[in-house]
Amino acid sequence: MFVVHNHYTGDAEEVRVDPDKIALFEDRSSSEELPNACPFLRFDGETGKAWCTVHLTRPGLCREYCCRLLVLDAQGKLAGRVTYQTALIPETDELGRLWERVQPALDRLRGPEWDDAFTHTLTVAGYHVRR
């Protein structure tokens, strides 16, 4: 069990690693590559898919935030996040400027079509997108 402190509200919540993700949580190799990412985020080495290892008891802020895609720069560092509302939250000015240019074209798309176009656009620009 872990206690998570919300830096925005000051609230503290208890979380537990999901029983089926204990081994994934214990493998810290993927989290070492992204030191500023959530401490409970892990990547499956075989599929590259990102997993929340405390999903069943995740804090309220995480339930509201709903990150569904991660954008990494060419060096593998976190550059941004995409929410379920298809909003990009850039971590770098460079990605923010790119987003301002490409967002109008993506706004007319929905669902998998949006995901594919977003992923393609950012990949061409040198980013990596993890689902």
Q: In the structure encoding, which two tokens stand for residue 71, read together?
A: 């954008």
Instruction: Name, in order, each residue with C-beta under 8 angstroms of 52's C-beta and a sequence gap of 6 or more.
Output: 38, 40, 41, 58, 62
* Angle, CA of 36, 40 and 43, to the nearest 5°: 85
User: Which DSSP string do the residues of 51-75 spell out, in sequence order?
Assistant: EETTGGG--HHHHHH-EEEEEE-TT
Distance of CA 29 to the CA centre of its chain: 17
Q: Greater confidence, 47 or 73?
A: 73
The CA distance from 71 to 66, in Å, is 14
Instruction: Classify residue 61 as exposed, middle or buried by CB count within 10 Å of its CB (0-12, 13-18, 19+).
Output: middle
Closest CA to 4 of 44, 63, 49, 51: 63
**pLDDT single digits (tens) 53-111:** 998 998 876 766 667 888 999 988 889 889 877 888 898 999 999 999 999 999 999 88
As a whole number, mean pLDDT of residues 112-122 equals: 95
| Whole-number percent of the chain with pLDDT over 90 | 37
Q: How many CB atoms lie within 10 A of CB 26?
A: 10
